[in-house]
Amino acid sequence: MRKLTIPEEEYMRSGHTACLGCGATIAMRYVLKALGKNTILSIPACCWAVIPGVYPRHNLEVPLLYTAFEVTGAAVSGIREALNALGKEDVNVVGFAGDGGTADIGIQALSGAVERGHDIFYIMYDNEAYMNTGIQRSGSTPIGAWTTTTPGGKKRMYKWEPKKSVAEIMVAHHIPYVATATIAYPEDLIAKIKRAKEIKGPKFIQILSPCPTGWRHSPDKTVEISRLAVQTNAFPLYEVVKGTYRITVKPKKPKPIKEYLRLQGRFRHLTEEEIEMIQRIVDENWRELLKKERCSQEVKE
Amino acid sequence: MAIILPEDPTPIARVPSTENKTGGWRTFRPVIIYEKCIRCFICWKFCPEPAIEFDSPDAYPAPKPALAKFDTVKINYDYCKGCGICANECPVNAIEMVLEEEVEE
């Protein structure tokens, strides 16, 4: 007898070539647990393009199509329409891309796909830089972070631009379902994907998945850091169903952002003033989100 | 001239990745202390490999009689890369990370 809070079926096999403590593999494991076997995945160039192993090895129990970096949105639209033409409308079509392939390179294909309204899932696993090619800065890298293309030095050339909010870009497309999730809250993540499954139309889910190699933290802290990201409000968990916001995890007493930053080597260089500035940005974003939740619920009444 | 197509026109991967024994990557080995394990399956939930498997309830002694009806977990050392997430997340610290050279068989 066993009491489990997430589905027991396993669609991701062991023996993949991810780094130790990889957050993206945990994300994929939960996504497939929630979606089930009746799924087709499309993956662009990203960490997940190398994790299943080199040809002829395969790692997932579901079909997987590799595409070029910028075309995940177009590829999943094509798969969806081809399946519809064959009468297989019950198959889940999922684009599973990293943050570079979503926020920077793939955004026009994604924007087109969700605007055309295909019945697709688009899952962005957000490891906050181009991790597969060697930790280059992406649009989704948070403010203050070290990467190999923002290496610091005497002039302190770290990434000083704020993180691009892809979930908000998707909300602006007026699609039926947008959500953010993280691997430390698997029940929440799986519930969101199951809810999205019931909705027809484009669905977008952003999953924060820490990367020990690029974030410069010990591999055993992967889940702890993603939990801290939520508890410090650095990465709030919410969902937007047809324009109505709902925050799914509200920390009763948010922890100071310092606890989240200090565990990661990529933020080691930050001074006290810079941490205060990041704290201010995080607080502002949280208040904005609370207001959005309140306003959108009032508008719908 | 006739065009000869290969039998598989598109390259399809057919070898499961389980042939790839990633256990050799390991520096630290997670060892479950069954006298402490409360069988909550949190380690199974967060394992990125996944290398944690279920075993029968009577495979290992239970710390409390009330827990004896639940399944136990065991680690598949063929695939465990030794990241230590299970040891970090365990609520009762029932998993210990032991340096591979110091493991007593």
Q: What separation in angstroms does the CA of A32 have from each of A125, A212, A272, B79, B98?
A: 13, 23, 41, 20, 32
Residue range B92-105: mean pLDDT, rounded: 89
| Residue of chain A nearest B82, judged by CA positions | A20
Q: Is the pLDDT of residue B2 over 90?
A: no
Point out the residue among B13, B49, B83 whose CB comes nearest to the CB of A219: B83
Q: How far apart are CA A274 and CA A227, in angstroms?
A: 22
**Averaged over A229-248, what is the pLDDT?**
95
Answer yes or no: is pLDDT of A161 > 90. Answer: yes
Q: Which of B15, B46, B88 sits opposite A57 (nearest CB)?
A: B15
A 10 A CB-CB count for A81 gives 15
Judge: A220–B88 Cβ closer than 8 Å, yes or no: yes
CA distance A28 to A121: 13
Distance CA A298, CA A276 (A): 33
Q: CB B48 to CB A220 under 8 A?
A: no
Q: In a 3-state reduction of DSSP, which class is residue A263?
A: coil
Which residue among A23, A29, A57 sits closest to B50, beta carbon to beta carbon? A29
Q: Report how far residue A297's alpha carbon sits from residue A301's, in angstroms, rounded to the nearest whole number.
A: 7
Asked if B87 and A220 come within 8 Å (Cβ–Cβ), the reply is: yes
Indicate the residue of B17, B70, B85 with minimum beta-carbon distance to A21.
B85
Q: How confident is the model at residue B105 (pLDDT cuts 50, 70, 90)?
A: low
Buried b (16+ CB within 10 A) or exposed e, A54-76: eeebbbbbbebeebebbbbbbbb
Please count the residue pairs, one from chain A and one from chain B, whose beta carbons lie less than 8 angstroms apart.
109
Q: Are A114 and A89 in contact (CB under 8 A)?
A: no
User: Is B11 close to A218, i.e. CB distance below 8 A?
Assistant: no
On the question of pLDDT at A132 being above 80, the answer is yes
Residue A241 has pLDDT above 80, yes or no: yes
The pLDDT value recorded for residue B46 is 95
Residue of chain A nearest B54, judged by CA positions: A2
Distance from the Cα of A13 to chain B's closest Cα (Å) equals 7
Q: What angle do CA A195, A200, A202 make, to 5 degrees?
A: 90
Percent of chain A clearing pLDDT 70 (strictly above): 100
Residues contacting residue A63 through CB under 8 Å, at least 6 positions apart: A40, A41
Q: Are A26 and A216 in contact (CB under 8 A)?
A: no
Using pLDDT thresholds of 50, 70 and 90, give the confidence band for residue A274: very high
Model confidence pLDDT, tens digit, residues B16-35: 888 889 999 999 999 999 99
Q: In whole angstroms, how large is the CA radius of gyration of chain B? A: 20
Q: Which domains does chain B have, with CATH numbers?
A: 31-102 (3.30.70.20)
Q: Are A202 and A113 in contact (CB under 8 A)?
A: yes
Q: Is A126 helix (H, G, I), strand (E, B) or coil?
A: strand
Pairing of the two strands B28-32 and B95-99: antiparallel
B33, B74 Cβ separation under 8 angstroms: no
Name residue, tokens 């500035």: A277
Q: Whose CA is closest to B26, among B104, B97, B105?
A: B97
Dig out the tokens for B4 from the structure: 């000869």
**Calpha distance A65→A121 (Å, rounded):** 15
* B50 interfaces chain A, CB cutoff of 8 Å: yes
CB A169, CB A87: distance < 8 Å: no
Half-sphere exposure (Cβ direction) of A200: Cα atoms closer than 13 Å: 2
Give, to the nearest 10 degrees, the angle between helix A23-35 and helix A222-231. Answer: 80
CB contact under 8 A, A186 and B71: no
Q: Which residues on A lie below 8 Å from B41 (Cβ)?
A: 2-4
- B87 CB neighbours in chain A (<8 A) are 220
Q: What is the pLDDT of residues A99-126, one digit of tens each?
A: 999 999 999 999 999 999 999 999 999 9
Whether residues A55 and B89 touch (CB distance < 8 A) is answered with no
Look at residue A10 in the predicted model and tell me its pLDDT.
92
Which residue ranges form the domains of chain A, and what is each CATH number?
Answer: 23-300 (3.40.50.970)
* Cross-chain residue pair B46–A220, CB shorter than 8 Å: no
In angstroms, the CA B51 to CA B62 distance is 22
Q: Residue A36 phi/psi, 5° resolution?
A: 90, -175
Give the model's confidence band at B10: pLDDT under 50 very low, under 70 low, under 90 confident, else very high: confident
Chain centre distance of CA A102: 10
Q: Which CA distances in Å does A45 have to A33, A216, A272, B48, B88? A: 23, 22, 37, 21, 31
Is A2–B84 a contact, with Cβ atoms under 8 angstroms apart? no
Q: Do B13 and A224 touch (CB under 8 A)?
A: no
| Cβ separation A14–B17 shorter than 8 A | yes
Q: What is the mean pLDDT of chain A?
A: 94
Q: What is the pTM of this model?
A: 0.94
Residues in chain A within 8 Å Cβ distance of B85: 21, 219-220, 222-223
Q: Do B22 and A1 touch (CB under 8 A)?
A: no
For B58, nearest residue in chain A (alpha carbons): A1
Residue B13 to residues A147, A171, B8, B53: CA-CA distances in angstroms? 34, 37, 11, 26
